[in-house]
Structures are given as structure tokens and as C-alpha cells.
Amino acid sequence: MITTNQPQKTSPATSSGKVSPSGKSMRGFAAMDPAEQRRIASEGGRASHESGRGHRFTSEEARAAGRKGGQASRTRATPASATR
């Protein structure tokens, strides 16, 4: 019997070496530190507003959206068996 003395990998090989609590390797945003995530996300938000695609809710729009969401959640609060 011929054997080799190569080390076996026991953990996922990632460039960051970070592993989530579930045991999966963390990639992309999940592997970054929170400050770096915020920096990148804010760049996207700034670019969106500069290009004219960004939107800021007025207090009236936010109030209407909250009211609409509240009404929708009340109608979905019925048990699934009652709708059949």
C-alpha cells in the first residue's frame, strides 16, 4: 500500500479564512468588516442620488407607506386554513 504525506484540508479554503457560525465560508460583503461594508454601501447611495435615480421620502410619503404596510399586514393576519 502506497501512501502520501500530504496534509488534508479540514476547513474550507477562503482568501479571508472567515467561517460563519453555520460552518459555511463567508464571502463577499459577509467577509468584510462592518466599516468597509458601510463605506461601499454609502458610495452606492451617493452615486444613485447623483444620477437622479435616488429617492428620499418626504414625511407625508413615509407616513402613507407605513399606513399601507400596516393595512396589508392586517389582511394577511388570518390563518392560512381559514382562506381555503
Which residue blocks in the chain are alpha helix, DSSP H? 34-50, 59-75
- Tell which wins on pLDDT, 18 or 33: 33
pTM of the model: 0.40
Q: Which three cell numbers stand for residue 19?
A: 467561517
pLDDT of 13 = 47
Segment 21-56, tens digit of pLDDT: 777 788 888 888 999 999 998 998 888 888 888 878
